[in-house]
Structure 1
Amino acid sequence: MYGLAYSINDPAGAGIARALRDKMGLSESSVCKNSITCFQGGNIVLAGFREDVIYFDFLDDRMPPEVEIYIILSRHSSEARVKSYTVHHTGNFGGNALYGGNPGELGISSPMVSWLLLRALHDSWRNSSRAEYEVSYEATHHGPTSLSKPLVFVEIGSSVDEWGDPSNHFIIASSIVKLLESPPADCKPVIGIGGGHYPRKHTEIALKENVCYGHIIPKYALQHLSQEILDKMISRSDIDVRGIIVEKKGTRIEHRSLIEDYASRRGIEVRYV
């Protein structure tokens, strides 16, 4: 069962939730604890909470125990005002946790679910009139990080105009329905190293190949790269990670040496792009 959650104060999350209720004919339910809204139908529970999504570390206690994975419906902010539909996992690579979660902790990724959702978003986007939007993974960032089940964010970026647009709500909701209807797929689970906050090379690979990403550490966080961080990126996944894909241009020789030494000891393939 999927547990979908959003903040009632977020126009993007609340709008996507309304569109999902309409598309799926969800019924009001009492299975959520301390939620503002709670709906159920098929294999999903949809809950709205007052708190901001980056502080949803309470979901294990408030969602039904039958839920196996959380999908968070959210807005995305960008100073560059990039119009986007994005998918990402959560975590803090460094010693600070300015935006929820715990320092140095990564949430549990779900490479296959995030990959199927990314591809569903891409299909919905191609069938829309939103050519100016970008469909992309985002690098791992912000909370929550301490949940016991996998967690995937799907977001509308990047300003209030996009967050409140019903057409965007429909596109995200349609993509989630496609995900729910998708059978398990055959993909190679990997982690990503390098690239920007919108890791375009990693996204391109995932859209063209049967390669699905768990955690992605961007170029701006590589000062935190270590054997311990690589261990966390690989272990905090709901399926076994079999490869590391490195954007070579965004890494230095000391990063590549660390990655190759780690991969050699673990018997994991390294690929440069």
Structure 2
Amino acid sequence: MVYSVNDVAGAGMAKRLREYFNCRPLSSSPISFNDIKPIEIFSCSDYDTLLLGFNEDTIYFDFLSSITKSKSIIVLSKHSSQSGLPSLTTHPTGNPWGRNDFGGRPWELSLSNPIFMWLFLKNIKKFSDILPRFEISYEVTHHGPTSIRVPLSFVEIGSTESEWKNEIVQDIMARGIMKTIEDMTNINDKPCIATVGFGGPHYAPIFTKRAFEYSECYGHMIPNYVIRELSDMEIKKVVELALSYTPYVDRIVIEKIRSDAKRIITEVARSRGIEVVKI
């Protein structure tokens, strides 16, 4: 688990997790990150977990690519939005186009973690009666880091300082993360249908709804605002990337995109024997 020490939401979640995971401070990190050094280092006896705080902003955590043997990486972070909507979200990372406005590299996606994100949403949903104002949802694939090849997920508190600093919210997120890691250690078979989504808006309400109703666990989700900027050749490239970096993908769900993009996505899916659902 990693966070920025300058992120009040991420650092707040980390503080709670240190208590829940029986963590003790270390003087040095057992993992090298070249010139980058963690500011805070904790070894957690529960579930063999490291908790590392860095000075850098989380969208620039590509140095985590030096981690190769972990089962997963969880990034604890704040979320900002113009709407200021209180939210608890999770998402994979990547730049599914030729831009890298917020870290990472263009045309690069990190390895997603569909089962973790699905379980996390389900676990956080259990607290919705305590936080009725909060939207609980996926966000689509966006921002860096993009070079990580260990399954990576962001978990975020949004969307203003009031929510970021809220200790009740931080505690609920920490409990949701802890329960999800516990669940992951007890899974033998796939508990959900690994799915890639295309279309829809940034907060992916349809994909989130389907995750709960149809047990679709989403990896990469490419929104309509990206797809409408791409040529036919670029759409095919993005489909290949999204499928390659979503483990065990069995299904594609297509929502509200132009017909030629829908055709290209369907052709690539069929060539791989992947089911396509159009909504």
Query: TM-score, normalized by length of structure 1?
Result: 0.92
| 1:47-126 alignment runs, 5 A limit | 47-61=52-66, 66-126=69-129
Partner of 1:241: 249
Partner of 1:254: 260
Is the CA contact (8 Å cut-off) linking 2:65 and 2:147 kept in structure 1?
no
What is the number of residues matched between the two proteins?
A: 263
Shift of 1:209: 2.1
How many angstroms apart in 1 are the aligned matches of 2:64 and 2:269?
34
Partner of 2:207: 202
Q: Does 1:187 align with 2:187?
A: no
Partner amino acid for 2:254? V
Moved more, 204-213 or 29-38: 29-38
Residues 147-192 of structure 1: CA deviation (Å, up to 9, x unaligned): 2211100000001111111011001100011112112251111100
| Alpha-carbon spacing, 1:164–1:139, altered in 2? closer, same or farther (3 Å) | same
How many angstroms apart in 2 are the aligned matches of 1:101 and 1:15?
25
Partner of 1:227: 236
Q: Does 1:15 align with 2:40?
A: no
Q: CA RMSD in A?
A: 1.4
Please give the secondary structure, in 2, of the residue aligned with 1:124.
coil
How many angstroms apart in 1 are the aligned matches of 2:124 and 2:114?
15
How many angstroms apart in 2 are the aligned matches of 1:226 and 1:120?
34
Please give the secondary structure, in 1, of the residue aligned with 2:128.
helix
Partner of 2:269: 263
How many angstroms apart in 2 are the aligned matches of 1:60 and 1:45?
15
Residues 90-139 of structure 1: CA deviation (Å, up to 9, x unaligned): 0001111010000011111111111111111112334x2x1010000000
| 1:139-150 alignment runs, 5 A limit | 139-150=140-151
Please give the secondary structure, in 2, of the residue aligned with 1:116.
helix
How many angstroms apart in 2 are the aligned matches of 1:125 and 1:25?
27
Please give the secondary structure, in 2, of the residue aligned with 1:204.
helix
Partner amino acid for 1:181? E
Residues 193-218 of structure 1: CA deviation (Å, up to 9, x unaligned): 11110010100111122211010011
How many angstroms apart in 1 are the aligned matches of 2:128 and 2:21?
20
Partner of 1:27: 24
Please give the secondary structure, in 2, of the residue aligned with 1:212.
strand
How many angstroms apart in 1 are the aligned matches of 2:127 and 2:178?
11
Partner amino acid for 1:47? L
Query: Mind listing any 5+ residue stretches in structure 2 that lack a counterpart?
Result: none
Please give the secondary structure, in 2, of the residue aligned with 1:57.
helix
Moved more, 109-118 or 257-266: 257-266
Shift of 1:25: 2.4
Residues 38-92 of structure 1: CA deviation (Å, up to 9, x unaligned): 112222110000000000011243x5x5422110000000000011000000000
Partner of 1:5: 2
How many angstroms apart in 2 are the aligned matches of 1:19 and 1:265?
46
Partner amino acid for 1:256? K
Moved more, 113-122 or 99-108: 113-122
Moved more, 147-156 or 24-33: 24-33
Shift of 1:228: 1.2
Is the CA contact (8 Å cut-off) linking 2:123 and 2:180 kept in structure 1?
yes
How many angstroms apart in 2 are the aligned matches of 1:84 and 1:146?
27
Q: Percent sequence identity over matched residues?
A: 38
